[in-house]
Structure 1
Amino acid sequence: MSHPLLSVRDLTITFPDGDGGRRAVVNGIGFDLEAGRSLAIVGESGSGKTMIGKALLGLLPDAAAIGAGSLRFDGRELTANREADWRALRGCEIGMVFQEPMVSLNPAFRIGDQLTEALVARRGAGRAQARELAVAMLERVLVRNPRDCMRRYPHEFSGGMRQRIMLAAVMLLKPRLLIADEPTTALDCVVQKEVLDLMRELTEQEGTALIFVSHNLPLVAAYTENVLVMCRGDAVETGPVRRVLARPAQLYTRRLLEALPRRDAGAAAPPPAAPILEVQDLSVDYTVREGWRGKRTVRALHPTSFTLAPRETVAIVGESGSGKTTLTKAILGLAQPSGGSIRLGGEELIGCSRSARRAAGRRIQMVFQDPYSSLDPRMQVGALVGEGLRLDPGLDPDERDARVASALEDVQLGGDFARRYIHELSGGQRQRVAIARALVTRPEIIIADEPVSALDVTVQKQVLDMLVALQDRYGFACLLISHDLGVVEQVSDRVIVLLRGHVVEQGTRDDVFDRPCHPYTRRLLQAVPELYGDSIQGFRIEQRRLPKSCPDLPYFEPERDGNGRCVVELSTDTPPHCVAVALGA
């Protein structure tokens, strides 16, 4: 009988526990993987998923040790490998696509040099042959203008393009096993689907086995055949992905499925109220250099209008580069608008005085995507949360301390958390600190930029539930930026869809999700597998079902008037929440 390509038996990985002993972070894990087959490893942060992948590549941290077990790859025992054996194995036999390609790609070298280096050193290819192979692989992963790409640096590409380049670099060596560790966490849903489709296509064409490490259960169901569910280092459940996710036998697996974001059909919309924020025909232009002296103007945000009322959540969705961040920067005064109006509580912010802008800044607070980067690691949590109160003349020191303590209690971080540092907290706790820091000034608006994209599903649910409860308590409005449509569907009241700086569709959540009309909105919704059912009836994950009765508004070439401005005509049949847009404008 032929042996499996990879066989893991009773794998245990330990770390020092601080008391002279060792504790297991991976405890007795075992599985087999045949050539050309796929396995997903899922679980919460800290469950040991990434440690298994690093053990297969000999990349465990210095403090880690394989305490017991066996790792056999193509019949060879890996735990006995020397460093030279690991170097021969990495890349050529086992490849790995890491979570953040900007960290994996060297910013000091051109893409072409990084793609051809391994082919020359490991496969013995000549420079010219290696460049042609690299260009061909870039074409296969749908990188536009691959020859030009070879001359550019990583920072010149979007996150989705960098992940495609990273996938091309790994697959160029044709490894027999590919480990993909959260490869799409920071990507929008359309690019996420494109990258995963490419990864599956390449592995199927080359007969490569795939280990997909993720906390995203719908993606696991769509792209893998078998699943291993882990909790705190233990294997909770394993088997064919359709069976495990449809009828999970263990409570922990059911908890993961039930934590996936979904719409609360019984949630009431906030009562009508006068808007606190009014954006009218807001546009933003950037000047970019061409060559040594040339310049040109690029319109990053075309005229955009919307309102935001107290207690209301408006979500802005769209792919990378669609203008979401540019819009919020203009509202915060961090980008200079080219036209339009921004009114906060009836007061115009564009062209206002510095003191008025500073006062507006206290009324609008921001929750950033990555709290580890946005919070000073040298400051304790209490000082970080209270930083926004330092210039408030109406509070004395005792009142500031009480406000900080109250904000930390609001996000369930009471006790000694105020004296801790950021590196001592988990990802979910750090995001709670970021929310407390925004809440402490009692703002009227909170802008949340991808607030839960890097969190696993159970922590994500806790943070979202907490944010909704705090909004009910304090009545602030929320402007949510997200590429996770499940999160948007769970918490938003209205949705704005951006594409290449244009608003292509906007309306209530139910209108946009149940009756999408623009083809781009449909593409967004169908790019994400949907969870149906419950723990009693059983779960199923499939492509979102959209009504066939919705008319499509096709992309079209714009007509222009005598001044070169785009002319758009809407028919009387166009739904009120959908906006036709000429993408060439």
Structure 2
Amino acid sequence: MITVKVKNLTKKYGDFKALDKVSFEAKKGEILGIVGKSGAGKSTLIRILRGSLDYDEGEVEILGRKDNFKEITAIHLQRNFALWAEPVINNIIRKLYAIRNNSDELLPMEEEWEDYEKTAIEILKLVGLEHKKDAFANILSGGEKQRLILGRQIAKIYEKGEGVLLLDEPATMACPASKQKLLDVIKNIRDKLGITVIITSHLPEIHRYLCDRLILLENGRVKMDGDVEEVLNEFLKEMKPPYIRTPKIKDNAIIKVRNVAKRYYVVHGGETLNLKNVSFDVKEGEILSIIGPSGVGKTVIMRLMAGLELPDEGKIIVDGVDITNYGWERIELRKRIGIMHQEFSLPYYQTVENLLKYRLGLKGEKAIAHAKAKAEELGLSPKIVDAIYQLIDAPESERISKLQKMGLTEDIIYKLFPPVVESFEPEEILEALDLGKDILKKKVIELSGGQKVRVAMALQLITKPKILFLDEPFGDLDPITLRDVANYLKIINERFGTTIVLVSHCVEFIKEISDRAILLDENRLVMEGNPEEVCEEFIRRSNARFMREESSYNSKKSVLTSE
């Protein structure tokens, strides 16, 4: 039985065709995958199938309907955690109440409760959360929240007995253990409900594990439709071979982490993190990766090394500076480090040249000299100035929030540290990132997805930092673009001697780029050493069966040697 029919579907944004005469069909009980590079049109297609986006030409039919698709589809997005801060089962019961009564998400009367609870438990079984039914949703792990959201979304399909489940990059940012659980839940939903599932993902291993058939989208067109492995081979044809760098690791430790402890406790939620006795070194010129399950403290360790937070116990020395001592030494150190966060954004109205000059000026000698004079004039202690200056390396939302708590606006940063640029020579960095000089005059809005990533990297590298911290900024990149990023990072490390410390869930990326890896688990450092061995232990602990499929990275055997 055909459940989804798409014929000559076209969607335009001005003169740009996001989808161009797309045609395909999906059968009842089939898991149909859609793969393609970022910007290929995958998310646009899903939104049209959901009924949340109009299209310009063509036909779409789902379960015999040609409109009002929201009544017969459920959608699960990558980063959607809108949940009630109540027990897990209440989140499902509220959704069921809204469906049955065509009303707001209320709780049923006492005499109705047993019937609602019985159905809710069956839905929780489908998503593997029946054992968490009484836990509060706000203290679930990220992966558990994803599955609870999925349970809420399929409630309508469960009630109606039919529907189509749409999944848009559902597991991209999750750790391997969370990914595995979510993928198994998707299979279980398909098997138990017998519904059609359409999933977009740029991760080949997800399609290999889940899909019965695969469609390759390229520039808004269907390039190939058929066997999963054959389509993936076509998709990965563009992947460049890995660059083989010549490591230039020095004997000295540029970062020393000694007996560090950090604990987080949430009122009414309990302990969320309790790292203990973490110790390790990072050698100058080394590429070190930190891996581990979600919520184990990888980002926290990186923030501690970058001086964005302080440890509860222990000591961290970065390039000779005790990161726990606020003052001018720490301010000077900040010139020598760069950091990219999970959520990085670029102001769309600015030119690349202005962004690079601003960043260069903000971390320049003149800016710091001006801050010293201005602080003395205003009677500000070095500790206060340091607390303000560290916010230039924090994510934008955090920076604004912390300044507001201090009763300040972002203007204080620019008044203390005016971005004065005397010498602007970006050619070396641009060349290493394969960016031509013509990109300097382009506005962010004119850049492709791959160019935006490289410009974001250039912003951190323009000051020629000794240390670059990368906190999962490339987690949602397709494997072709990720290979390019891996090559650029190896070139940067080789040419400039930049020490790189990165957090990532992408095991093959870590194996390819790292000199050494550290595994965090069970609130402590459990293993460090050879990236291959550490990653294999991580996969074993995660029970990530989907990662045992042939690697998309390993499918390209040829290499590019360094000059």
TM-score, normalised by the number of residues in structure 1: 0.76
> How far apart, CA to CA, are the structure 2 residues paired with 1:178 and 1:303?
45
Matched, 1:101 2:80: yes
Matched, 1:447 2:472: no
Match of 1:48 in 2: 41
1:487-513 CA distances to partner (integer Å, 9 max, x unpaired)? 101101101011132111111224434
1:157-179 CA distances to partner (integer Å, 9 max, x unpaired)? 43212211111012222242111
1:23-38 paired onto structure 2 within 5 Å: 23-38=16-31
1:172-210 CA distances to partner (integer Å, 9 max, x unpaired)? 222421111100111111101111111111111110111
Match of 1:166 in 2: 149
> How far apart, CA to CA, are the structure 2 residues paired with 1:534 and 1:457?
11
Match of 2:100 in 1: 123
Residue 65 of structure 1: SS of its match in structure 2? coil
Residue 442 of structure 1: SS of its match in structure 2? coil
Residue 168 to residue 278, structure 1, CA distance change in 2 (3 Å): same
1:83-94 paired onto structure 2 within 5 Å: 86=68, 89-91=69-71, 93-94=72-73
Residue 423 to residue 233, structure 1, CA distance change in 2 (3 Å): same
Matched, 1:141 2:141: no
1:163-562 paired onto structure 2 within 5 Å: 163-174=146-157, 175-245=162-232, 248=233, 250=234, 253-255=235-237, 258=239, 269-290=247-268, 300-350=274-324, 352-372=325-345, 375-376=346-347, 379-385=350-356, 386-390=358-362, 392-393=364-365, 400-404=422-426, 406-513=428-535, 516=537, 521=541, 523=543, 527=547, 529-531=549-551, 534=555
Residue 45 of structure 2: SS of its match in structure 1? helix
Larger mean Cα displacement after TM superposition, 35-44 or 328-337 = 328-337
CA contact (8 A) 1:317 1:497 kept: yes
CA contact (8 A) 1:42 1:213 kept: yes
CA contact (8 A) 2:85 2:137 kept: no
Match of 2:392 in 1: none
> How far apart, CA to CA, are the structure 1 residues paired with 2:271 and 2:79?
31
Residue 519 to residue 468, structure 1, CA distance change in 2 (3 Å): closer
Residue 339 to residue 243, structure 1, CA distance change in 2 (3 Å): same
> How far apart, CA to CA, are the structure 1 residues paired with 2:535 and 2:433?
30
Deviation at residue 32 of structure 1 after TM alignment: 2.0
CA contact (8 A) 2:321 2:333 kept: no
> How far apart, CA to CA, are the structure 1 residues paired with 2:544 and 2:282?
24
CA contact (8 A) 2:236 2:480 kept: no
1:9-33 CA distances to partner (integer Å, 9 max, x unpaired)? 232223322xxxxx43222222222
- In structure 2, stretches of 5+ residues that fail to align are 368-417, 559-563
> How far apart, CA to CA, are the structure 2 residues paired with 1:146 and 1:286?
22
Match of 1:553 in 2: none
- In structure 1, stretches of 5+ residues that fail to align are 18-22, 538-585
Residue 460 of structure 1: SS of its match in structure 2? helix
Deviation at residue 413 of structure 1 after TM alignment: 3.9
Deviation at residue 57 of structure 1 after TM alignment: 2.2
Deviation at residue 270 of structure 1 after TM alignment: 3.8
CA contact (8 A) 1:445 1:476 kept: yes
CA contact (8 A) 1:408 1:436 kept: yes
Larger mean Cα displacement after TM superposition, 503-512 or 323-332 = 503-512
CA contact (8 A) 2:363 2:419 kept: no
> How far apart, CA to CA, are the structure 2 residues paired with 1:77 and 1:527?
38
Match of 1:547 in 2: none
Residue 473 of structure 2: SS of its match in structure 1? coil
Residue 118 to residue 287, structure 1, CA distance change in 2 (3 Å): closer
Deviation at residue 277 of structure 1 after TM alignment: 1.2
Residue 53 to residue 289, structure 1, CA distance change in 2 (3 Å): closer
Percent sequence identity over matched residues? 24
Residue 530 of structure 1: SS of its match in structure 2? coil
TM-score, normalised by the number of residues in structure 2: 0.78
CA contact (8 A) 1:237 1:244 kept: yes
Match of 1:559 in 2: none
Residue 381 to residue 131, structure 1, CA distance change in 2 (3 Å): farther
Deviation at residue 366 of structure 1 after TM alignment: 0.3
> Partner amino acid for 2:337?
I
1:21-76 CA distances to partner (integer Å, 9 max, x unpaired)? xx43222222222111111111112212222222222211xxx53312x32333x2
Residue 524 to residue 35, structure 1, CA distance change in 2 (3 Å): closer
> How far apart, CA to CA, are the structure 1 residues paired with 2:456 and 2:539?
36
> Partner amino acid for 1:309?
K
Equivalent residue pairs, number? 493
Deviation at residue 227 of structure 1 after TM alignment: 0.5
CA contact (8 A) 1:323 1:500 kept: no
> How far apart, CA to CA, are the structure 2 residues paired with 1:412 and 1:228?
30
Deviation at residue 384 of structure 1 after TM alignment: 3.0
Deviation at residue 483 of structure 1 after TM alignment: 0.7
Residue 295 of structure 2: SS of its match in structure 1? coil
> How far apart, CA to CA, are the structure 2 residues paired with 1:360 and 1:330?
14
Deviation at residue 364 of structure 1 after TM alignment: 2.0
Residue 510 to residue 328, structure 1, CA distance change in 2 (3 Å): same
Tell me which protein shows more helix as a share of its residues.
2
Deviation at residue 145 of structure 1 after TM alignment: 5.4
Deviation at residue 309 of structure 1 after TM alignment: 1.6
